[in-house]
Amino acid sequence: MGIKFTDRILDNVHGFIEYTNAEKAIMNTLLFKRLQSIKQLSIANWIFPGTEHTRYIHSLGVMHIADKIAQQLELPHTDRKIIRMAGLLHDIGHYPLSHVCESPYKRSMESYTENSLCQEINRDIKRHIDKFSLPITKEFMVESIEGHHEAVGATIIRTDQEIRKIITDECGEESIDIICDIITGNVKRQDTNPLWVQILHSEIDADGIDYMMRDAAFAGTGFGSFEMNQLIRCLEKRVYEGREILCINEKGIAAADQYLINKFFSYSQVVFNKHISNLEWMAEMIVDWLLKQDVLFPTKEHLLKRWINTDGNFDNYLSFTDNFFWKALDEIKTSPTKYYAPDYIVELSKKLLNHEELPFVEGSEIRIISKDKENIKNQLCDSTIYKKYVNDKDKIILYNQRPMTKNVPYQDFIENIEKNIPKELEEDREEYVKNKLLSRYMEGICVCNKSDSNIHLLCDDDTSLMKQLYGIKLVIFRSFHFPLADKANLNFQSI
Amino acid sequence: MANKFLLPVYKKVFDQQFSYGNFEDRLKMQKMVYLLQEEGVDIGHYGFDWYKHGPYSQALLDDMYMESGSACMGLNYTSEAKEGIENLKDIFNDVEANSIYGIRNWTECLASIHFLRNKEMGSNASEEEILQVLAKRKPHLDNDNLNKKAYRLINSLTM
């Protein structure tokens, strides 16, 4: 028996999306409906007014695309049910304003000192620049850690009895662990086929395909369009070191190139937009302060242990949506003394509520696209913006970066890995190299030929543009006025 | 300055400076960062795989190398981070465990149990099954009572 769809919903990106009774039951839970109150692109709608779409419709889109991939791979319907469920639930642990509020939860180790705030923020820029010296990425398929929205989602799925029961009835008890592995990107458990994980966690996954198409469609840009049907039609599976790998055949190479290039543009043109970066930074700073003071926003421990691991009482968590953020700002604006909020937090809150942003330091934008890491590093370090503002008390430097692809050709990769093998792993050398190659193939876009069982990455294929474009990185530096001593008189700019 | 937290946190947990040239220090750093990450302390985002000595991250080793020789800077820890670090320190400094296994094997034991329980084996795996796998893979961790204690402590440390 196949999958029995019982209803459908109209989506303006993919058309009708069909769903089963079990999926409908998930969609009807309050925990899932919560996603209707979390915008996919936080406050990007202030700049691209069409981007009003939410994590709710994105989740349905990911389920739809994940299933298209599963069908193309001719997976049995029992596997498809699990993959669809993982797609549907992959964002259930998302934070208010999506990545904006998640970001402070991922750097909650250190507090800023108010009187040297700009300097401390700018000093961290040096860390990013120094990272360019690291030869190549050696870690792939890195699992989400505690506090990441995917790990939060896995905790919810394991904890909420209603969701657990729906999944267990539909896909079996053992599918709970598998769905959590797919969501968090864990390929280490033998029971979880890494192919399923790759459908949601790789360079060409259902999540990326949906958000790229959806963000572009709602923003009104053309950067999200690519030959999706051709790409999916060309997906195949192969086996490497006993584990299944998601691949494209030769006919899909152009579509895969187009996908990666347009994804690169969607970051450079929409996600890293000057105004959006500025506004999101302001919001992040407020949340960072609130959660470190344990004021209005829950600390990570509070969120995980009291709001989620609560034997079914999710009342607090259900209100943890975009509106939670705006209400917190309003509280700060109305009663700053109640929360001992420093002036800069009060000011940032007021300004965001008034749709105002930090003033841009004219002429301070540096935008570099290059393959040469040393060249990027030198350009940044030699730039006026870096030299002038890195120790500035009144200006912050904001930094964005995006690689075209994380992968490098086999020869470069293997030489680097073998040359730098740590002494303590000498005895494990063979196992170590095998694991590195395996995870590299799982995360990257693999190409397979019809004639044999060999696979290689796109950047090793003579007919792929990635053979020329791998290693390209976009880096953006921008500076904004943020005088802590005289914030009230700072001339914020209206959006 | 690839990860400014590594040296000061290591010093806080082990009450000694980190030395990159010392194998035991590198192993202790690996296990410390792995468990802090799993505890929810934002010391980095490293991908750990299983090798001879348990969970191990190459990117973390690269960062240790980049940090080696840097001054151990003071940090203004959040209360949540402080608590997480103190909890781990208490477990690492368990007197009985250190006297039997020594600090190197004890940190390896703790991190390995966590990895087996949370990454490799299903949520239905029992304590007994997990400790059996540990004993098979790591015959040098041969004290059953201590391994059970490690399992309990890992349970209390992470969810």
pLDDT tens digit string along B85-100? 999 999 999 999 999 9
CB nearest B52 (choices: A111, A146, A428)? A428
pLDDT tens for A11-44 read 999 999 999 999 999 999 999 999 999 999 999 9
pLDDT at B159 over 70: no
Interchain proximity A424–B53, CB inside 8 Å: yes
Distance CA A58, CA A56 (A): 5
Encoding tokens for residue A6? Answer: 């019982």
- pLDDT reported for residue B147: 97
Answer whether residue A197 is part of any domain.
yes
Interchain proximity B159–A304, CB inside 8 Å: yes
| Position with higher pLDDT, A154 vs B75 | A154
Answer whether residue A348 is part of any domain.
no
Q: How confident is the model at residue B1 (pLDDT cuts 50, 70, 90)?
A: very low
Q: From B65, which residue of chain A is nearest by alpha-carbon distance?
A: A134
pTM over 0.80: yes
Half-sphere exposure (Cβ direction) of A471: Cα atoms closer than 13 Å: 18
- pLDDT reported for residue B76: 84
CB nearest A432 (choices: B37, B51, B159)? B51
- Counting every residue written for chain A, the total comes to 495
CA A198 to chain centre: 15
Interchain proximity A109–B77, CB inside 8 Å: yes
pLDDT at A2 over 70: yes
The vertex-A442 CA angle with A441 and A445, nearest 5°, equals 65
Q: Which of A108, A145, A243, A436 to mutate to test the interface with B (most CBs of B within 10 A)?
A: A145
What mean pLDDT comes out for the span B65-72? 83
Distance CA A96, CA A94 (A): 7
Please list the residues that pair with B49 across neighbouring strands.
B56
Q: From B41, which residue of chain A is nearest by alpha-carbon distance?
A: A109
pLDDT tens for A252-285 read 999 999 999 999 999 999 999 999 999 999 999 9
Residue A212 exposed, middle or buried by CB count within 10 Å (0-12, 13-18, 19+)? buried
What mean pLDDT comes out for the span A284-309? 89
With residue A488 as reference, give the H or E element that holds it.
Answer: none
- pLDDT reported for residue A425: 83
Residue A186: partners with Cβ closer than 8 Å, 6 or more residues away = A143, A180, A192, A197, B119
Interchain proximity A145–B57, CB inside 8 Å: no
CB burial string A458-472: b at 16+ within 10 A, e below? bbbbeebbbeebbbb
CB burial string B48-65: b at 16+ within 10 A, e below? bbbbebbbbbbbbbbbbe
**Tally of helices (H runs) and strands (E runs) in chain B:** 8, 2
- pLDDT reported for residue B67: 87
What mean pLDDT comes out for the span A306-321? 85
pLDDT at B115 over 90: yes
CB nearest A300 (choices: B43, B56, B80)? B80
Q: Which of A109, A304, A426, A434 to mutate to test the interface with B (most CBs of B within 10 A)?
A: A109
- pLDDT reported for residue A306: 83
What is the pLDDT of chain A when averaged over all its residues?
91
Answer whether residue A34 is part of any domain.
yes
Nearest-neighbour CA in chain A from B36: distance (Å): 10
Other residues' Cβ atoms within 10 Å of the Cβ of residue B5:
23
B59 to chain A: which residues are within 8 Å by CB?
A: 137-139
- pLDDT reported for residue A490: 58
Q: Among the listed ranges A118-127, A183-192, A469-478, B76-85, which one has the minimum average pLDDT value?
A: A118-127
Residue A86: partners with Cβ closer than 8 Å, 6 or more residues away = A66, A178, A179, A182, A183, A196, A200
- pLDDT reported for residue A135: 64
Q: From A439, which residue of chain B is nearest by alpha-carbon distance?
A: B49
Residue from A462, A459, A458, A438 nearest A448 by CA: A458
Nearest-neighbour CA in chain B from A208: distance (Å): 21
pLDDT tens for A396-436 read 999 999 999 988 899 999 998 888 788 888 888 888 899 99
What is the pLDDT of chain B when averaged over all its residues?
92
ipTM value of the model? 0.92
Answer whether residue A201 is part of any domain.
yes
Interchain proximity A188–B119, CB inside 8 Å: yes
CB nearest A301 (choices: B27, B40, B58)? B40
Interchain proximity A147–B40, CB inside 8 Å: yes
Interchain proximity B27–A186, CB inside 8 Å: no
A157 to chain B: which residues are within 8 Å by CB?
A: none
pLDDT at A487 over 60: no
- pLDDT reported for residue A373: 86
Count how many domains chain A has. 1
pLDDT tens for A70-83 read 999 999 999 999 99
CB nearest B43 (choices: A109, A126, A155)? A109
pLDDT at A112 over 90: no
Distance CA A429, CA A442 (A): 20
- pLDDT reported for residue A282: 96
Q: Among the listed ranges A77-91, A196-210, A306-320, A469-483, which one has the minimum average pLDDT value?
A: A306-320
Q: How confident is the model at residue A495 (pLDDT cuts 50, 70, 90)?
A: low
pLDDT at A287 over 80: yes
pLDDT tens for A365-403 read 999 999 988 888 889 888 888 888 888 888 999 999 999
Answer whether residue A408 is part of any domain.
no
Please list the residues that pair with B37 across neighbouring strands.
none
| Position with higher pLDDT, A460 vs A485 | A460
Interchain proximity A176–B77, CB inside 8 Å: no
CB nearest B49 (choices: A137, A146, A435)? A435
Q: How confident is the model at residue A327 (pLDDT cuts 50, 70, 90)?
A: very high
- pLDDT reported for residue A85: 98
Domain boundaries, chain B: 6-157
- Domain hosting residue A82, numbered range: 7-100+143-274
Answer whether residue A462 is part of any domain.
no
Give me the CATH number covering residue A270. Answer: 1.10.3210.10
pLDDT at B9 over 80: yes
A422 to chain B: which residues are within 8 Å by CB?
A: 58, 61
- pLDDT reported for residue A134: 64
Percentage of residues of chain B with pLDDT beyond 90: 77
